[in-house]
């Protein structure tokens, strides 16, 4: 049965091509949403870029027909930008839905469609508050589910058994790790490759089996994408830096290490608004990374200043990675849980020949309002790449920073 989906602005910011995700149903974009996109298009960073992309998508469809009447989509559905008169709103707007509040206008559009059309009407929004108000008004509302991945279904990346003989290899995926009485192994799709670290890696030894599995994936040249998920203190970023320094400084396999993270701006301002050079702007966000680098360099009698001077290590804001083609480099995307699936796709498609990408983060520590543990780019990418020969995923559970840090993460 055909349905009417009314999209909130945040859905188009999350995924500018969301209108193509509703199969043979009708997709309605209220005029206030277009106005919000028009205001947001001037912003720097991700929000402005998404707004501009969404507007371009609508413009391409406008050239194919009248959006007020509806333009056919390849999926069989229609995209419609309805224009309602004051009389329409007088009849269908609830009294408390004030004109200046865009969310309430969206609710009014949905109520108009519900009472004037026979198809079921559903509001799609990343905003929980809007969905709750819709429910109170007797409207159906749901989150944008197209790019969601169930975190609870994401495998740990390893299994534990008494013996390899007990394993059903048909249930294992490529690059899944195994703990057994015979030792530790990585399943390559056909056989079990035993893994062990006979010597320290850039002066560091793994403290638990999860860190051993993570280091093996990070050091394996044929694995081009590694996703490390875990709470604070499990060693995600630290291990990624250990492997990056080993592979770049010691083995010379990569030309450069790039460490980047999404910068969640204060007060809604993009990093471009901040005073100073790029290094000064990003230094507050990169202090933890620099602490780890200083420790590792001091441990191995290496000059961090010399490394930074030679630009062997580059600290970047993700804003400045988009649009680049990056070959032969070891890229660490820290705090990747704060990225949308589209942003992670943009980053991974920038990876050139010979480049390795590591995504690290904690999906339960998200700092952006319209992402959650199942809709963020880290979990989405990890889920999509499970079983691919060039990817590995490890869920780190045991904190190793300190007894206090581990207990705080558990209790608080």
Predicted local distance difference test score (pLDDT) of residue 279: 57
Least confident interval from 63-77, 177-191, 321-335, 398-412 = 398-412
Q: What is the pLDDT of residue 85?
A: 62
Is 251 found in the same domain as 391?
A: yes
Q: Is the same domain home to 222 and 363?
A: yes
Residue 285 pLDDT = 66
Q: Are 396 and 228 in contact (CB under 8 A)?
A: yes
Phi, psi of 292 (to 5 degrees): -65, -45
Q: What is the pLDDT of residues 114-140, one digit of tens each?
A: 988 999 999 999 999 999 999 999 999
DSSP 306-350: HHHHTTSEEEEEGGGTTT--B-SEEEEETTGGGS-HHHHHHHHTT
- 71 in a domain, yes or no? yes
62 vs 16: CA distance, rounded Å:
16
Token pair belonging to 140 = 């159906």
Question: Domain end: 146, 173, 192, which one?
Answer: 146
- In the prediction, which pLDDT does 336 show? 95
What is the CATH number for 44? Answer: 3.40.50.1010
Interval 11-29 mean pLDDT: 95
Q: Which domain holds residue 221?
A: 204-411
**Of 146, 175, 196, which residue constitutes the final position of a domain?**
146
| Average pLDDT value for residue range 144-158 | 89
Q: Do 358 and 258 fall into the same domain?
A: yes
Q: Does 195 fall in a domain? A: no
Is 166 part of any domain? no
Same domain for 117 and 18, yes or no, is yes
Q: What average pLDDT does this structure show over 196-202?
A: 85
Rounded CA-CA distance 171/167 in Å is 8
Q: Which of 98, 117, 146 is the endpoint of a domain?
A: 146
Tens digits of residue pLDDT in 33-67: 999 999 999 987 788 989 999 999 999 999 999 99
CA dihedral 259, 253, 222, 182 (to 10 degrees): -100
Please, are residues 397 and 265 in contact by the beta-carbon 8 Å criterion? Answer: no
- Answer yes or no: is 330 within a domain: yes
pLDDT at 274 over 50: no
Nearest-angstrom CA–CA distance, 247 and 358: 13
Q: Tens of pLDDT along 101-118?
A: 788 889 988 999 998 899
- Give residue 268's pLDDT: 43
- Weakest mean pLDDT among 352-356, 369-373, 400-404: 400-404
Across the range 79-89, mean pLDDT stands at: 75
Q: Report the number of distinct structural domains present in the chain.
A: 2
Average pLDDT for 146-172: 90
Q: Are residues 8 and 110 in the same domain?
A: yes
Strand-pair partners of 268:
none
Specify the CATH number for the domain of residue 348.
3.40.50.300
Q: Are residues 370 and 229 in the same domain?
A: yes
Instruction: State whether 254 and 339 are in the same domain.
Output: yes
Instruction: Please report the pLDDT score of residue 46 as a whole number.
Output: 81
pLDDT in tens, 298-346: 999 999 999 998 889 988 877 666 666 788 999 999 999 999 998 899 8
Do 217 and 140 fall into the same domain?
no
Retrieve residue 276's tokens: 């100073």
Q: Which two tokens stand for residue 47?
A: 């929000």
**185-199, 270-284, 351-365: which range is least confident on average?**
270-284
């Amino acid at each position: 049965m055909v349905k009417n989906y009314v999209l909130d602005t945040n859905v188009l910011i999350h995924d500018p091509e969301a209108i193509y995700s509703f199969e043979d149903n009708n997709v309605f974009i209220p005029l206030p949403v277009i106005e919000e996109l028009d205001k947001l298009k001037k912003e720097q960073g991700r929000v402005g870029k998404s707004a501009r992309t969404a507007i371009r998508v609508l413009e391409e469809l406008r050239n194919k027909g009248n959006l007020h009447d509806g333009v056919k989509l390849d999926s069989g559905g229609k995209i419609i930008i309805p224009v309602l008169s004051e009389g329409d709103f007088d009849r269908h707007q609830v009294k408390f839905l004030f004109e200046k509040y865009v969310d309430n206008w969206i609710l009014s559009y949905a109520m108009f469609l519900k009472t004037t059309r026979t198809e079921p009407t559903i509001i799609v929004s990343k905003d929980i508050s809007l969905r709750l108000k819709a429910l109170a008004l007797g409207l159906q509302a749901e989150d944008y589910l197209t790019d969601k991945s169930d975190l609870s279904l994401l495998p740990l990346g390893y299994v534990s058994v008494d013996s390899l003989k007990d394993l059903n290899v048909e249930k294992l995926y490529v690059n899944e790790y195994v703990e057994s009485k015979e030792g530790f192994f990585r399943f390559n799709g056909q056989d079990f490759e035993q893994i062990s670290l006979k010597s320290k890696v850039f002066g560091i030894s793994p403290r638990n089996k999860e860190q051993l599995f993570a280091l093996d994936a990070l050091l394996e040249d044929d694995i081009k994408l590694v996703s490390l998920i875990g709470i604070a203190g499990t060693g995600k970023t630290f291990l990624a830096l250990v492997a990056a320094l080993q592979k770049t400084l010691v083995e010379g396999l990569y030309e450069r290490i790039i460490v980047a993270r999404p910068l969640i701006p204060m007060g809604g301002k993009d990093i471009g608004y901040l005073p100073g050079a790029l290094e000064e702007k990003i230094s507050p966000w990169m202090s933890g990374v620099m602490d780890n680098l200083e420790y590792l360099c001091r441990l191995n009698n290496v000059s961090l200043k010399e490394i930074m001077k030679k630009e062997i290590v580059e600290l970047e804001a993700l804003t400045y990675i988009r649009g680049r083609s990056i070959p032969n480099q070891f890229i660490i995307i820290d705090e990747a849980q704060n990225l949308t699936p589209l942003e992670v796709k943009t980053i991974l498609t920038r990876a050139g020949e010979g480049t390795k990408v590591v995504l690290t983060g904690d999906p339960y520590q998200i700092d952006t309002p319209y992402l959650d543990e199942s809709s963020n780019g880290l979990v989405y990418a990890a889920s999509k790449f499970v079983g691919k020969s060039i990817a590995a995923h490890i869920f780190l559970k045991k904190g190793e920073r300190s007894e206090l840090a581990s207990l705080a993460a558990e209790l608080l």
